[in-house]
Amino acid sequence: MTVGVTNTAPLPLWLGFKIGSRARPRHAAMVSGAVKPSWSDQLVFTEPETKLIEALLGVQGRGRGVSSKQLQDVESAVQALEISKGVPDPTSSSMIEGSWQLIFTTRPGTASPIQRTFVAVDSFKIFQEVYLRTDDPRVTNVVKFSDLIGELRVEAAASIKDGKRILFRFDQAAFSFKFLPFKVPYPVPFRLLGDEAKGWLDTTYLSDTGNIRISKGNKGTTFVLQKVTEPRQKLLSAISSGEGILEAIEEFTLYNKVDSKGDFRSLVGEWQLLWASESGGESWSDISRGLKGVQTIKEDGQVANWAVPFPGSRVTATGTLEENAKSKAYSVLMKEGVFQFGPLKLPFDVQENLVMEILYVDNKIRIGSIDKATVVHLRL
């Protein structure tokens, strides 16, 4: 069954998405039960693939900042896909060829210090280029720092051992900086490393559409790669890098905008604030958005926002969320607050009446505006 989803010794060898057929957001806000056209019309994933993608949403540092619950969900989804087999003999398939983006690795700290830094930094994009059907078959790991700075390419001569395994030997690497007319050699003497420059990479899952690839390296590391990231991942990547966030939100909501406030039940839950635009105000809400706290919405409309200004402290504001009958927005009335430091609790008045509009919501991400400030939340 297929369902839609809206909604980098040497660098280690490294989740993949390709253009497919129709799909639609899972658990996304809809209008009068009608399916709205979206960018996901061209992305297709099986149900196990969907579970992996959603388990990876919000994971920081490609696995370095993963919680135990997130890791459990990802590993469970990976195992389910490996059991399902996917494309048999993936190294014999042309779908393994091309540029793959690294999304997750189970052991991001197994490489050298400089490589650990590259892999764990969300603002860097890590790719693996696989080209096996040429006169010079190669596997190349690419770290793209930014369009303005440049990239690092670590290349390896490659050969196919069997239907799953690629053998490789690293032989050259260099930095290409936009501001320099020459390449800077990568400080690893591959020729002197001997067998340390060698390795292998097993592909344990390749999706039937060429969307996702799961591989395991000779050091026991699992890599999840994809060819084309889906828009929710692109949005989260922009937030992580701090570049092009408003543009990513505008593009995302353009194709996924809801024409109503959606189902209130879709808002119920615990939400982590990922990003908020500057509104220029000095109210409690403006200050709290800067703290990147958590918002809890209950079924009875009770709302609680809390954040940790510094270790050992917690500031909380509570109120209610009500539907506005005259518009497509919600009214948020914040009433009481309390600052807690250890056993000490200091109450304070909040008294704010805010307008919240929902631009998009599904089972993982919520995009909205609160008094002219655009906010993005991730469901916990």
Cβ atoms of residues 339 and 313 within 8 Å: yes
Which contacts (CB < 8 Å, 24+ apart) does range 85-89 have?
85/205, 86/205, 86/206, 86/207, 86/208, 87/206, 87/207, 87/208, 88/163, 89/162, 89/163, 89/164
Cβ atoms of residues 261 and 323 within 8 Å: yes
Distance CA 356, CA 348 (A): 23
- Tokens for 244, please give them: 């092009």
pLDDT tens by residue, the chain, 380 residues? 443 333 333 334 432 222 233 333 333 433 333 333 344 444 678 889 989 988 888 777 687 777 888 889 999 999 999 998 899 999 999 999 999 999 898 864 455 545 566 777 777 889 999 999 999 999 999 999 988 899 999 999 999 999 999 999 999 999 999 999 999 998 888 888 888 889 999 999 999 988 899 999 988 889 999 987 777 888 888 887 777 888 888 888 877 766 555 678 889 999 999 888 876 555 556 556 666 789 999 999 999 999 888 888 999 999 999 887 777 788 899 889 999 998 999 998 888 888 888 888 888 899 988 877 889 998 98
- Tokens for 354, please give them: 């805010």
